[in-house]
Structure 1
Amino acid sequence: MAAGQVVMPAKYKTSVKDPGIQGILKMTEDKFVFTPNNPRLSGKFDVGFGSIKGHKFSKEGSKQALLNLTQDPEIKGGGYIFEFEKFSDRDVCRDFVGKVLGKIQAMVSSGQDAKVVSERSAITVHDEQLSASEMERRMKLLREDCELQKLHKQFVISGVLTEAEFWATRKKLLNVDDASRTPKQRVGFKSSMLSDVKPSTDGQSNKVMFTLTPEIIHQIFAEKPAVHRAFLNLVPSKMKEKDFWTKYFRAEYLHWTKNSVAAAAEAAEDEELAVFLEHDDILASEARRKIRRVDPTLDMEADQGDDYMHLPDHGILRDGSKETTYSEYEQCKRTLLQDINRHAAVVLEGRALDVELGDTRTVAEALARSKQVELATEATDENANQDRLERVSMMAEIEDLQAPRNLPFAPLHIKDPREYFDSQQANAVKALGDTVAGTKEMNCSLSTKEAYGSLRGLISEMKVAGLSDPIVKPEVALKALNGLAQHVSSTKYHLQKNPHESVLDRLPNKTKEELLHHWASIQELLKHFWSSYPITTTYLYTKVCRLKDAMAQIYPKLQEIKESVQSDFRHQVSLLVQPMLQALDAAFAHYDAELQKRSAGSGERPNGFV
């Protein structure tokens, strides 16, 4: 079999269920020819690859080893289906077709590089069949990312990686739909307040009517948690929904008329109506929790009287009238400031529900579930928040007003200081002696004369024999000196340059682009290389061999870059190239180690390859 062609026995089928015509399939780089074994049958054809836009194939392990070469939809005749005896034969033809189609696409003008994938109607590579939307996403990614386009052209078209292998490491980019990338804009609450919903009369009777819509119901539940809780508890077990809202708007009408005396009287007679007239205990509980999270150095009580609300005849103008305070009816009174603050808080929080607003019960239950999630989150953050408040409190302390805080300590009591320090010295000398090979055992209890004589003997021995190891190794010193000289030369050359520039910024643009591209290529190859281990199949072994050959080609390219730059930049380029070479060396060392480990004692290559 020649390198530029593939010849395989196969069956040609017009459909998957067709029994097919047995013959010989011959593929070259420009066309494929099918010749039936029976010359009497009319099934011979000669088709150029220029009319083929993609190829599909069945998964390994299925009943038939099929390969479908799809044509351009504008060309009549559909595609060409071939059945092979073995999946390995089919895979050889599949890979050959992929390389040929890749070369054909590469011959298109450079402006069409991003369409290498998109112009195949339905590609099936390595057990993967693509839909039109997936093809469009791949095409868009290649158009938007020129670096990704270079890597695709370098590795996929050259046959180092298949389409499926290349895109398998970018599933997150492919799985994200264009619509989901852009955050969806959800409709929030209207800026109009609930108090702006005015009652209306028909002019003929004393009936007062309020307009109630699903949007208003949702806003009521969000701004008034007590009403939301009452709806879940009362409807429909104790009253109908219509009666519930009638009582609610009765309470709102009493607030609107500013008749706190009548409101208190009706609340005393009707417990269900009192829920809407009295202060919201849930909001009060939320306010207390929020206050506990406030910076303790902020004294809110000190500013309480700044608005003069505590003085007589001072109030907030609302609807042209002034609110006055009646302490005995304070429970049934609500200020405009409270309504504004609560409405503003709800609007800023946004609408957290994505359910339809048609059914009131569904909206109420969904809102209850979201509140439970919020409470659970607050409970988990309570400890962290308490620690934060303690740290803030300690940081805000005035030191000279605080009581002295002495850290607890245990006093050290040494009965015999001389014995203690002598033992410490002996231990230190012993540890030093253990670390030095060939050191003679020393007697720590020497007289002054004996110690002086021992020291003179060591000095005399050192003069005669010299040091066993040099203080500084010559080769290390020379390497450090050369590196320092090159650094000084480079620094002198780049004097007056921007000190905030990186090493890459100081290199020529061409060298910089080449280094970045090689680094991206190495990362891509190593990512696929390490993910292929352990090698358990023939496919993985073939893939690792392709990756190894591709990585081996990068070594001379990096060396060429180092030799092509000026001498002033050569040291900096070497520093940049060094981690690339180390990463490649680690991959090759692992490959060789695995090869020796698997072939040791058997004389065979990994996975049975001879």
Structure 2
Amino acid sequence: MGSLTIGAKYKTTLKDPGTPGILRMNDDKFTFTPNDPRSAMKLNVEFRSIKGHKFNKVDGNKPALLNLSKDSDKGGGYMFEFDNVGNRDLCRDFVARVLGKHQGMPPRPTMPPEISVPSAGMEQLSAAEVERRVKLLREDSELQKLHKKFVLGNILQESEFWATRKNLLDDVANKASKQKPGFKTAMSDVRPSADGRTNKVTFNLTPEMIHQIFAEKPAVRRAFLDFVPKKMTDLEFWRKYCRAEYLLRTKNTAAAAAEAAEDEELAVFLKNDDILVKEAKLKIKQVDPTLDMEADAGDDYIHLPDHGILRDGSKETVDNDSEFARRTLSQELNRHAAVVLEGIASDVELTDAKSVAEALARSKKEPPSTSAVDDTSHERLLKVARMTEIEDLQAPRSLPYAPLCIKDPREYFDSQQANALRSLGASNDGRKSRNCSLSIEEAFHHLTDQISSIKVNKSNCTVIQSDMAVKVLNELNEGISRSRRLNLKNPQEGLLGRVPQHTRDELMDHWTAIQELLRHFWSSYPITSTVLYNKVQRVKDAMTQIYQKLQAIKESAQPDVRHEISRLVKPMTQALDAAFSHDLEQQQKSAKAGNKSNGF
């Protein structure tokens, strides 16, 4: 029956956003592996427990769903969401064939459990490989038709079908952007809108703003993963965050202290970000110790009276005695610039806040171990030692070398060539070497004698017969003249233009299928295993069916276009006849040699 591997989302309910992962199906069971290894949504279900399947009609923005239902007594089922209808239909057809096969078989007797052995025919594909295959099938309708006809039709296996298209998969991988997408350079300032009549303050948060908040404030991201949904809902979390931002913006220290004492969750947003503090300490340790940061801190005159950065019409001041966070404009600009330079991880999708927070948590690097810190410190010390040196007073850092001195280059290269010829002469297949020394004049006379002998004897080895060449040229000229006359009469109408549209489409589909089958047929020779023999038999059966369809098209054609259809069908049947003849010759050779009928 084969196997099927495709990307999908497992959903417990219709409103569930779904868990993205990889859905794999074979004749006996289907498995679902989430992309997130920490997720518990893993499935390993036998098809014998599935009694039916349902699918929805996709209209507008509705997702393509497939529901695999279990026994009516047990209830329940497994719901999967696909990226498009084509992928859903591929999976639906595969499930229909497998269920039809299992429902027609007697129930399996109770047997002791056996040790499962991984099948050699099953491919172990990565998630990136599956995504590339699905993307190719989604973008190329012709490739999707071939995949549905041959892979789902049990003519070719999944691995055999994609083995001839590695270049397409590599092109998709190479076309992928190597540059990480980044945030907008403009800072997203969460500003409230006040209603004077109701004395109500409203904050509007978009998914992009939430993503940027999580990236720029890792403590908020950590609090979201800890609090939601264990202690509070998503809405309650953002209400507390906006309340903290409002208190910080109004600089009401007394109100902030009072509310922080009553609400521990709110106090998390009012305090300084401890994660950013740790990162800053690590960055300070990596700064060259010869740089006097304290002396440079006064170059901007911010600490002096009547100096500072104006923001919102007020001058920013820093209260060092306050336990609450006081962020200056320069700090926010620097943090935003650092996040923009880091870029956005490729696996982050703006679906919901929880998935964004989890993806950002995965993308952050773990803190280095003690040994790594020690190695970094040692490298820092070496770097400092090198930087404190005055380069103008140091000797050049270059290794001594012995200059190569060749008095006569001809002797050197001639000796190398002689050594190479001597090494080749040791294995000359039993042929005797002949030493011959001729002058330039003697060699020239010898060459002229050889040319004269060829002219006199007139070698009988002709490349091609003259009468055959004239015949081929006449046929080519006649065909070119005929095509030119037809094109001049109606330039828009060629050989395919005179064939009905439905017949033309059918012939093009057959020609594409023939090319695919012939590619697999000729690549299977010489047949050296049972797998190749079975593959050739399946391909031959498919080619035989197409051959019969071509003959039926030619016989049922109208008299006015029968000649054109015959000309189009002729190269197809010739290619198939060549394959059938080759297979017959191989069978006859095997029969004469007394080998097996399959040729190996």
Q: Same fold (TM over 0.5)?
A: no
Q: Does 1 or 2 have the higher relative contact order (CA < 8 Å, sep 6+)? A: 2
Per the normalisation by structure 1, the TM-score is 0.37
Larger Rg: 1
